Amino acid sequence: MMEIILYLYRKSRSLISMGMPMSVLKEDPIFDQVIAIKYDVPNDNLAMLDDYKKKIDAFYDGVIERNA
């Protein structure tokens, strides 16, 4: 789980360094989804964590696309 949190942090930090305001980033529900990851991913299905990485990548690409 910590790997996913750090992945989102790095992607978000990259966007902020490009000049994206935090208010634009917070519009996306990915932050709430990652906060709730503890309750969404059962211990016996850690493959679901890959889905979170895909969602974070889609979030990153979407922000770039909408604000480029």
Which domain does 30 fall in, by range? 2-67
Confidence at residue 47, expressed as pLDDT on a 0 to 100 scale: 87
- 44 to 3, 36, 49, 57, 62: CA distances (angstroms): 17, 17, 11, 24, 31
Kindly give the confidence (pLDDT) of every residue in the chain, 68 residues in length, as a single tens digit, with 9 standing for 90 and above: 899 999 999 999 999 999 999 888 988 999 999 999 989 888 888 888 999 999 999 999 999 998 87
Please give the tally of structural domains in the chain.
Answer: 1
Indicate the pTM of the whole model. 0.87
Nearest to 12 by CA among 51, 65, 59: 59
pLDDT at 53: 95
